[in-house]
Every structure is written in C-alpha cells, then in structure tokens.
Amino acid sequence: VFPLLCLNLFAQTPAQPFQVEVSGKGKQNVVFIPGFACSGDVWKDTRALYEPTYTCYTFTMAGFAGVPAQGTPSFKNWEAAIANYIQANHIEKPVIIGHSMGGGLALALAADYPDMMSKIVVVDALPCLAALMNPTFQSKENNDCSPIVTQMTSMSNEQFAQMQQMSMKRLVADTAKSSLIVSWSVQSDRTTFGQIYCDFYNTDLRGKLANIKCPSLILLEAPFVSYKASVEAQYKELKTAQLAYANKGLHFIMYDDATWYKEQLTA
C-alpha cells in the first residue's frame, strides 16, 4: 500500500488555473480564450463554425463563470499556464482567438512565445486598456489590488448583480445575451474578479508587440472608430496586424455584429 500511496502523491501535478473543453476533430487547432469573468460558452456559436474540420480547445479561467477559484490569480501566471498547456498537450501551431482580456492573453502569448501559434485573432482588446483614456499611463510594479478586491467582496449579491447589469449596457447591445453574460459574472469568485480586473487594467503590452511574428487579426467594436488614432497608436509596433472595425454594436462583437464577425474570421 505504501508504494502505491507514494506513487499517487508524487504523480499529482499542480491544478491548472482553467477548465478546457476539447471538441471537434481536425489537424488544425484553435484555442479559444474568453474575456473577463466569461465562460468559454461565449465562443459557442463561433466554435460551431470550426468543429467539423478543426480541433477546438475552449478555456474558462479559474474563478470565472462557476469554475472553482485557485490561489492568487494573475494575468502573467494565466498566460504561462496556457502556454504550458499548449506545449504539454502538443497542440501544434494553433490559431489563438481571444476576446477582451482573452485577446490580451492572445497578444501576450504571441509576443512571449512567437513560434507557438500560426495566427491570432484579437476580438476587441487593446495592448493597454488604461492608456486609451490616459496616454501617459505607466503600469506599476507590485501593484496593490487589495482595495478593489475588498470593494468587490464587500458587496452584497444584489449590489454586485445590479452593478453588472448596469455595466452590461455599455458592453453588449444584444439584450437577449446581456442576462447570460451577467449570470457568468455573478457566478464568478469575487476575489478573482477584483484581482484580475485590477491586474489586467495595470497590464501594458505595447512594448512587446514587435516580438509578434504571426498574422494578427484585430477586430474592434464600432465605437472605437471615434478613438481610431489612439487605438492604432497602441498597435503601431505590431507589424503583422490587420485592424478592422465592426459596423455596429458594442464590446461583444460576436453577438452584436455576428455576420460581419464571422466573415472576418473566415477570411
């Protein structure tokens, strides 16, 4: 019994900070990374386009949308864990598609592991979200996220749900999808919610975009046309970028301008 017990203990590996759903079948691989507080189900309609001929790996990050929280989460640790998963599972040259924070992770992966993927698709994300409103923004070392974590965890369930419902009016025009997205938020772990919100807002990827070698499709919500100069300044070092602005809708482009979005991916 003792050797078997030892084998069991030493065979355990650290839990991954995400759940992964593998679907479809094909030689080409696609990795889907959802945005902040979202389930991998945000890619359900997109994934259906590719499952007949592609192998799809759909992530939901730990602490979001009902997936159990894990340790102290961080954007950088999540990036490294996704890279490790791709390498450990021999997922050859995937196309990485990320929305919002997931788009930020796609950019970071392509910059830090430039030979890992064949292409990336970034759905409505910026290399530095904070710099859109504050061009002089500089990320802080050892940024203290405890105030926002405390703010999130001290809210009642009703207050938090109400806050999410108000926020969703600025993020998705499709009201039928709004309640679904809110439900993912309210199922999320509040500590993870506050920590990652703070950490991602402190992330600045602009300085490493020049490392990206693969073709990069950047799909942006329609309102970003009003900030076009600022948006494109953030992407100026990404020499492989193809930027396109949606015709209508808000942040959840896959819902609000679905036909245009699918055409862009297909092309």
Q: How large is the average pLDDT for residues 236-246?
A: 98
Which runs of consecutive H residues, i.e. helices, occur in the chain?
Answer: 2-11, 44-50, 75-88, 101-112, 146-154, 157-168, 175-186, 190-201, 228-234, 253-256, 258-266
Burial of 137 per CB tally in 10 Å (0-12, 13-18, 19+): middle
Kindly tell me if the per-residue pLDDT of 186 is higher than 60. yes
- With bands split at pLDDT 50, 70 and 90, how would you rate the model's confidence at 15? confident
- With bands split at pLDDT 50, 70 and 90, how would you rate the model's confidence at 8? very low
CB contact at 8 A, 89 and 218: no
Tell which wins on pLDDT, 72 or 58. Answer: 58
How far is residue 116 from each of residues 84, 87, 112, 169, 208, measured CA to CA in Å? 11, 8, 9, 37, 16
Supply the pLDDT for residue 14: 61
Supply the pLDDT for residue 134: 93
- With bands split at pLDDT 50, 70 and 90, how would you rate the model's confidence at 13? very low
Of 14-18, 38-42, 144-148, the poorest mean pLDDT is in 14-18
Residue in the block written with tokens 């405390």: 150
Kindly tell me if the per-residue pLDDT of 237 is higher than 50. yes
Dist CA 265 CA 267 (whole Å): 5
Average model confidence (pLDDT) across the chain? 94
Q: How large is the average pLDDT for residues 179-207?
A: 98
Kindly tell me if the per-residue pLDDT of 7 is higher than 60. no
Kindly tell me if the per-residue pLDDT of 151 is higher than 80. yes
Supply the pLDDT for residue 251: 98
The model carries a pTM of 0.94
Supply the pLDDT for residue 206: 98
Percent of the chain with pLDDT over 90: 93
DSSP state of 117: -
Could you tell me the sign of the dihedral formed by the alpha carbons of 171, 176, 177, 183, in that order? positive
Q: How large is the average pLDDT for residues 195-207?
A: 98
Each residue's pLDDT tens digit, 59-115: 999 999 999 999 889 999 999 999 999 999 999 999 999 999 999 999 999 999 999
